Structure 1
Amino acid sequence: MSQGLTRRRFFEGAASLGALVALSGCSPKVSESKNLADTGEAPEIEMVNLDEYEVKHSWCYMCGPAKVLCSTLCYLNPEGRWTHVEGNPVAGNNWGYGCKSLCAKGNSAMQTLYNPARIEYPMKRVGEKGEGKFERCTWEEAVEGIAAKLQEIKDQYGPETFALWSPQECKFVMQMGRRFLNVFGTPNYMHSAICQTQITSSRELSIGTKADTYPYQLNKTKLLVNWGVNGENADMNNNVDKANPYRRFEAMDNGLQFIDIRPMLDPLATHASVWVPVRPGTDGALALSILNVLIEEDLYDHDFCESWCNGFDKLAEHVKQFPPSWAAPITGISEEKITEVARMMGTIKPMGIMYGNSAGDQSNDGNWTCICINLIAAITGNLDVPGGGGAGMKMPEELFDCSKINKIPTLSDRLPACDEDTAAGLAPSRSKLVAPEFPRWWQNPETWAYTKFFVDPTSAANRGIQSVLTGKPFPLRAVFAHGTNPLSQTRQPKLVAEALKKLDFYFVMDTAWNPSCDYADYVLPACTRYEDSCQIGSRNMPEGTFIGIEQQIAEPLGESRSDWRIYLDLAVKLGFGEDFWNGDLDELLRAQLEPTGFTLEELREKGYVFVERTDGAKPMEPTYQNYEELFEKLPNGKVQCYNEIIGGMPNNREDGTLGFLPEYSGPPEGIAETPEIAKEYPLIFTDVHAHRLSVHSYFGNLPYMRERNRLPWVKINPATAQQYGIEDGDWMKIESPHGWVKMVAEYFEGISPEVVMGKRGWWQDCEELGEPGYECFDGGSEVNNLYDATIENFDGFHSAMAKQTLVKISKWEG
């Protein structure tokens, strides 16, 4: 598998003790191979003087491969080795201006650079797909071979048969990659459908593009509802920062109450007024029953509903069929508890609701679930009021113009129009989507403008790769997987591997070898963000305006190249050079910087610039209840209780129409939904969406992360485990109707006795700690083997897939 690779050791620095730096000006250094878990002894620590170290600026990429969330200062020792990292105090990370803290992932960043699993050279397959037999080749050979094959497939089958498979929101793919696709002529950007996009689109369908349920003035909020947000584990400037643990505790001191709706009692939930351990996949039933109580008990805002709700009377009549007595046996939550929670939502004001991936993009009726959550906030009068949803303080103006930073025009107008588009009234190339993530009609510019994330059309990755097997509506012929592992990213890796074997052409670019590489025709080595200088970010704060660029910390390992450069290289080879700065990325960066007044050379030399605010301007109180503007894009200028945007329109599979009013379908396998399956598989399995010690399925091979997260764990209630003779720390066999995995039991009383919960992505080994990687297929530890991949079960609007199933368990004797 790893021909052409070299192994290198790294074990220097003690990031977990990084707080000492702020106090002493010194950095702790841990002696090599001293590991508490291995030796039972504390590591030897010596202090080093950081004044002797060179400091360079970068953007941390430990929450995603192209994010500009946390600005970091990277310390290189006198030998030029990167040994320490801390947050840049003037960049407004995490706690705000002056904060140096980083999360566990951020403190491990050095180990990505010195990771012994790095891919160093381009490689070409010489064996059968799946065998993992490769030989080293040159970049010129790889780019030439890839470009020639893409041109051949375009000429023979049409440009739409080429797709780009994306990881999470990632600018080098979503902007540069999309630009390449559009010029090539294909709309098939294959998005995961496991993303914030799903949540956002549902909100915009119901309360519009400018409204929000999350309270941006938490100090004024009296009730916070945390619905499916895994705030303890997600990335620091997205969900963890939005979860606002320290701000929440400050608000609790001033009387804030909060409700936590999650199947597992994570740390923040222990501080909740009410914990609601809803069965995974049944959030939609809970939301419908809460709407029922709010309306039946007259706990809604009459003035708001009469003035600003479209079809409220129809919604009120519709939800009569969903009382708590209906929802209780589905959700596992008692009628009394559902009623209690609904009454709190209807009487404690102002209320804010933060809802997350488990509710929105990981259940097959996620769209309606999220719409219902938004309607709860709306009909109770909690939109755009102090302490309610939205209504954030207005920031002072930027001190220099950052309008072009991180904005690469994707040349959407280059997508070709065809007869099918014209006949159906669709925007160019929408008829060529292999698996529309959202309905084709929704992906027209005038409606797609609702969505803040995308300008260009998208296909759903799982459905798209299945086209290779089904031929419907046409089979993809070529796929580029960029910075993602398809055998861990989506449901049913066995099915994905079968498609990759059958696919005409598959190529990969990544920093480390992942299992899908075994099926590739070419594997390209990506350098880390710390080995190039390609990304600019900015931040405007009350204290001032900040702009920074990645300063190159080390030369690219081996022959690795920037993720951004591959699109330029292929574009030049295919004759698109004029649209790609003739292969010179610096020209793009100069265009982004031009309005700021800074030059690229100046910024690279300094790393970052912070301009302090001296005009005395401070965040200003917003105007409230500005409903005409908030709802202006919605039909009749109102919240869509009766949804006239999607009602009666074709779904994304085009095998039915979408409804006007919320519906509940439930998980493909559920205790209440499929009792006949539950007889053999009596427990519910689900997994965490994000984890503080990994990024989805990556970073399991970094020692700092893996030593705290060694074995593929599954949380299980001790009472449940003991029924099956399973002790804490035992290996378990977990079987669903779709596959089986083995994982290690971790006793946890804060989880329902009918639920077990794991984490995906255990394929990476950790050489330094001697920890193995685990197979992605049956018998390994990839939880996606357990889930349903039936296309007809995916959400009909935004393609979300169920992340829950029924399982049976036993002690693993293998």
Structure 2
Amino acid sequence: MSQSLTRRRFFEGAAALGALAALSGCSPKVSESEDLADTGEAPEIEAINLDEYEVKHSWCYMCGPAKTICSTLCYLNPEGRWVHVEGNPVAGNNWGYGCKSLCAKGNSAMQTLYNPARLEYPMKRVGEKGEGKFERCTWEEALEGIAAKLLENREKYGPWSYAALSPQQCNFISSIGRRFMYVYGSPNYLHSAICQNQITVSRHLSIGKKTDCYPYQLGKTKLLVNWGVNGENADVNNTNDKANPYRRFDAMEQGLEFIDVRPMLDPLAAHASEWVPVRPGTDAALALAFLNVIIEEDLYDHDFCENWCNGFDKLAEHVKQFPPSWAAPITGISEEQIVHVARRIGTEKPMGVMYGNGAGDQANDGNWLSICLNLLVAITGNLDVPGGGGAGKKMPDPLFDTSKIGKIKPLMEKLPVYPEDAENGWAPSVSKLVAPEFPRWFQDPETYTADTTFNYPRSAYNRAFQAILTGEPYELKSMFAHSTNPLSQTRQPKMVAEALKKLDFFFVMDTAWNPSCDYADYVLPACTRYEDSCQIGVRNMPEGTFIGIEQQIAEPLGESRSDWRVYCDLAMAMGFGEDFWNGDFDEALRTQLEPTGFTLEELREKGYIFVERTDGAKPTEPEYQRYAELFADLPNGKVQCYNEIIGGKPNNREDGELGYLPVYVGPPEGIAETPEIAAEYPLIFTDVHAHRLSVHSYFSNLPYLRERNRLPWVKINPATAQQYGIEDGDWMKIESPHGWVKMVAEYFEGISPEVIMGKRGWWQDCEELSEPGYECFDGGSEVNNLYDATIENFDDFHSAMAKQTLVKISKWEG
């Protein structure tokens, strides 16, 4: 079977139902006894003539509330109802220029607008925290109440007592939300530590900011090591992302082979030349063993290591203690496979490593794991060579000035500089971080600048909640949760709920009620991006340069408001108007557009503008092996095999020092690490980071998605399940040393018999399908109940938390 046909069949199943439903504007009618997955037949749909429909442009909402990844065309029927959506062919989505397809989530976008679970009015708490007793109030009452309390707490406890909770990387929080924090005077942006940012910073520590271990020209790559990347779920429709599965299949037609290092045989892994089902949480041991084999068997690039590696001899001596015989009983991978894969990594060129959220930012030694993966590419001489790590083609310049698009100056200069900041060379107010996500010494003005929306001072989400309970170093007093449910976002929701009860002031803004709202003082209704016009995005392609804004498709539901505009409203109530365009967010958009030559009115009228490239310019080959330039920001201008950036410096808890050389820590509970716990809890539990039918813990209440993802599932090897008398489709009880959940067994032979794997975030019900939501606490289906939340077990550089534990299972008879 050709790779093209394989690719087509792989993705048809993921998006077909949503596409058909979107075309008809109604949910497909399928009887319970005639499921699509069983019959392979599509439901009958009524044909419509889209030429008669009004078309509006928007950026898709379905991979996050403020992203500009996929440009979409939204069709409104003659009654003004949004009934169909497709990719904008000139925006370069999915397969690139000319493609109109969307993923299943994108095809379900209409249902977010018409969702019966939507919040419509501001609400004020009238009962005890956690009771869920609220009454409707006006926006004026809510804004005045929030402003008065924030100003009172700033005066009583200091501006650092305010914090904002981050969901996944979200532009309105990291830009205008951060601007609000800084004007208020707080540095406490509470970042999840479950993020690409953790991986990126570890790369900077090892091979610098100007290169990458990911290959950008996959068509020239001979061997790709896919390590913990869940591309078939996380990157189905994003052509700009390195992990897009289409790019993988295209490269395979040109000779690429890949090795898949993941505990579960997901669809892409079925196409790998080798599958390495590493035990969850033991990836760093495997990476160290690969380094051992490559160095001991003299498979490294001598010239590169001699001239461009800092402390290679020290690394070589250090990894002698991590041979395959040491790693095999830890990782569950045989010595023979470890040696074989290491030899392939060391000899097949060009080679690159693509690693994702399942590895570097969800393990308590994730920083060292990420560093090891970058070193594997570096010492084998695969950095900045055609088809190797980095070395992407250079795109022609944009056809108009895009330099300000999507940028809102955060005004870091508004943050106070305390004596301790000045004395230590830290960024402003870093001394007041409640739980530094990265060590304070790392958060200096050069590392965290005022002109980015990615790098900035922040505290760790989970540790900040624990500080509320312990009072160490101090208690946060005010907190804003924006488009995030902290009872599903981080480890141990029971602990989070106790912290929310103790928190002095908590307010929430979201499109739908989430469980954390029960603990809020005020709940504010957010409109979707389809009900306002507040975000501009651009895309530069070989075919031309695209700029677009979401056009308003419908009036905001009830009294819901735009997230962007509410920050302006709140700033006005606080007396911050001068720093927030005197309450007119459109002025911020006009500032972004000034260099482009387009006006806000013009862009809103058209929705998008595409300027075609007519000069014949095409992507060009870069200069290769520019090592002096690439490593200029590293100590001694070299790759950090012996890491002089972090070595000998305080960790983020300030209770110890960071090392110079990579080490294996391992999970808090593991078969090899804690045999005494494994005696009672013999199986390993972990969860997927992203799923193609939800966005983290959101969108389980959309019928198009929920009908293909109805019950809180856990994948389990049939042989394992049968040992416990559990049949396919049975409810099962899963218990760890930290809590327990109930989930539905889904037989899957492509998973190790010692591992079971679920998905977090089942709190939403789906009214249209009569599907319930499930509790976030013990006895519900929130997998975060199972995980360890001991701060000393978090990564001591970038605060990543283990996403695995040991469990015991039984058939649930409840």
Distance in 2, Cα, partners of 1:38 & 1:144: 55
CA distance 1:518–1:680, shift in 2 (3 Å): same
1:515-664 alignment to 2 at 5 Å? 515-664=515-664
TM-score between the two structures when normalised by the length of structure 2? 0.96
State the AA in 2 paired with 1:343.
R
Indicate the residue corresponding to 2:30 in structure 1.
35
Contact 2:734–2:807 at 8 Å: present in 1 too? yes
The residue that corresponds to 2:357 in the other structure is 357
Alignment-derived partner of residue 348 in structure 1: 348
Number of the residue aligned with 1:766: 766
CA contact (8 A) 2:187 2:433 kept: yes
Q: Once the two structures are superposed, what CA deviation does each residue of 1:21-48 show, in whole Å capped at 9, x if it has no partner?
A: 9xxxxx8426667234477696442101
Partner of 1:24: none
Q: Which amino acid aligns with 1:65?
A: P
- 1:48-63 matched pairs, under 5 angstroms: 48-63=48-63
Inter-partner Cα distance in structure 2 for 1:453 and 1:185: 18
Please give the root-mean-square deviation of Cα atoms over the aligned residues, in Å. Answer: 1.7
Measure the CA separation in 2 of the matches of 1:188 and 1:775. 29
Match runs of 1:681-692 below 5 Å:
681-692=681-692
Give the match for residue 370 of structure 2. 370
Alignment of 1:690-729 (within 5 A): 690-729=690-729
Instruction: Report deviation, 1:237.
Output: 5.6
Shift of 1:238: 5.5
Shift of 1:417: 1.3
| 8 Å Cα contact 2:425-2:444 kept in structure 1 | no
Letter in 2 for 1:134: F
Corresponding position: 1:113 with 2:113: yes
Whole-angstrom distance in 2 between the partners of 1:503 and 1:19: 44
Note the 1:308-319 alignment, pairs <5 A. Answer: 308-319=308-319
Aligned-pair CA distance for 1:389: 0.6
Contact residue 197 and residue 453 of structure 1 kept, 8 A: no
SS of residue matched to 1:781: coil
Percent sequence identity over matched residues?
A: 81
Over 3 Å counting, the alpha-carbon distance change for 1:633 and 1:541 in structure 2 is: same
> CA 1:565–1:111 in 2, change beyond 3 Å: closer, same or farther?
same
Give, in angstroms, the shift of residue 254 of structure 1. 2.8
**In structure 2, C-alpha distance between the alignment counterparts of 1:306 and 1:556, rounded to whole Å:** 62
2:134 matched residue in structure 1 = 134
SS in 2 for 1:590: helix
Alpha-carbon shift at residue 255 of structure 1 (Å):
2.2
Which whole-Å CA distance do the structure 1 matches of 2:24 and 2:270 have between them? 35
How far residue 519 of structure 1 moved from its aligned partner, in angstroms, is: 0.3
1:286 partnered with 2:286: yes
Question: Residues 116-167 of structure 1: CA distance to partner in whole angstroms, max 9, x if unpaired?
Answer: 0000000000000000000000000000000000000000000001000010
Read off the aligned partner of 1:367 and give its amino acid letter. Answer: N
Distance 1:717 1:451 in 2: 49
Matched, 1:731 2:726: no
| 8 Å CA contact retained: 1:682, 1:807 | yes
CA shift for structure 1 position 584: 0.2
Mapped to 1, the partners of 2:235 and 2:19 lie a distance apart of 20
Q: Assess if the C-alpha contact under 8 Å between 1:36 and 1:43 holds in 2.
A: no
Please, which runs of 5 or more residues in structure 1 have no aligned partner?
1-13, 22-26
Equivalent AA in structure 1 for residue 392 of structure 2? G
What are the superposed Cα offsets for residues 559-581 of structure 1, whole Å, 9 maximum, x if unpaired? 00000112111111111101000
- How far apart in 2 are the matches of 1:364 and 1:189? 21
- Kindly indicate whether residue 305 of structure 2 is the aligned counterpart of residue 305 of structure 1: yes
Check whether the contact 1:543–1:613 (CA below 8 A) recurs between aligned residues.
yes
Q: Does 1:322 align with 2:322?
A: yes
C-alpha distance in 2, partners of 1:171/1:452?
11
**Cross-structure match for 1:797:** 797
Where does residue 454 of structure 1 map in the other structure?
Answer: 454
Offset at residue 744 of structure 1 (A): 0.2
Q: Is the 8 A contact 1:685 1:806 kept in 2?
A: yes
Q: Residue type matched to 2:24 in 1?
A: K
Which amino acid in the other structure matches residue 204 of structure 1? H
Verify the 8 A CA contact 2:15 2:102 in the aligned structure 1. no
> Is the contact between residue 37 and residue 707 of structure 1 (CA under 8 Å) also seen in structure 2?
no
Q: Secondary structure at the match of 1:444?
A: coil
* SS at 1:625 equivalent: coil
Q: In the alignment, is the contact (CA less than 8 A) between 1:652 and 1:796 conserved in 2?
A: yes
User: SS of the residue aligned with 2:231?
Assistant: coil
Q: Which amino acid aligns with 1:486?
A: P
2:369 paired with 1:389: no
Q: Measure, in 2, the Cα distance between the counterparts of 1:28 and 1:501.
A: 45
CA-to-aligned-CA distance 1:363-411 (integer Å, 9 cap, x gap): 0000000000000000000110000011111111111001100000000
Q: How many residues align?
A: 796
| 1:637 aligned partner, one-letter code | G
> For residues 661-691 of structure 1, what are the alpha-carbon distances to aligned partners after superposition, in whole Å with 9 as ceiling and x for unaligned?
0011100000000000000000000000000
Residue identity matched to 1:81:
R
Give the distance between the partners of 2:781 and 2:171, measured in 1 at CA.
30
- 2:464 is paired with a residue of what secondary structure? helix
The alignment partner of 2:94 has SS state of coil
Match of 2:407 in 1: 407
Offset at 1:445?
1.5
TM-score normalised over the length of structure 1: 0.96
**8 Å Cα contact 1:231-1:239 kept in structure 2:** no
- Render the CA deviation track for 1:502-535: whole Å, top value 9, x for unaligned: 0000000000000000000000000001000000
Offset at residue 456 of structure 1 (A): 2.3
Q: Write the deviation string for residues 762-799 of structure 1: whole angstroms up to 9, x where unpaired.
A: 00000000000000000000000000000110000000
Moved more, 648-657 or 230-239: 230-239
Of the structure 1 ranges 575-584 and 452-461, higher mean CA displacement relative to structure 2 is found in: 452-461
Contact 1:125 1:521 in 2 (8 A): yes
Pairing of 1:329-344 with structure 2 (within 5 A): 329-344=329-344
Deviations 1:404-443 (A, max 9, x none): 0000000011110122323444232111000000001100
CA shift for structure 1 position 243: 2.4
Measure, in 2, the Cα distance between the counterparts of 1:588 and 1:337: 56
Gap change, CA 1:401 and 1:61, over 3 Å in 2:
same
Please say if residues 113 and 530 of structure 1, whose CA atoms lie closer than 8 Å, have aligned partners that are also in contact.
yes
Q: Is the 8 A contact 1:698 1:761 kept in 2?
A: yes
Moved more, 454-463 or 376-385: 454-463
Q: Report SS of the residue matched to 2:358.
A: helix
1:228 aligned partner: 228
Distance 2:596 2:561 in 1: 28
**Gap change, CA 1:775 and 1:304, over 3 Å in 2:** same
Shift in CA distance, 706/334, structure 1 to aligned 2, threshold 3 Å: same
Letter of the 2:366 counterpart: G
Corresponding residue for residue 152 of structure 1: 152
1:617-656: CA deviations, max 9, x gaps?
1111110001111111000110000000000000000000
**SS of residue matched to 1:48:** coil
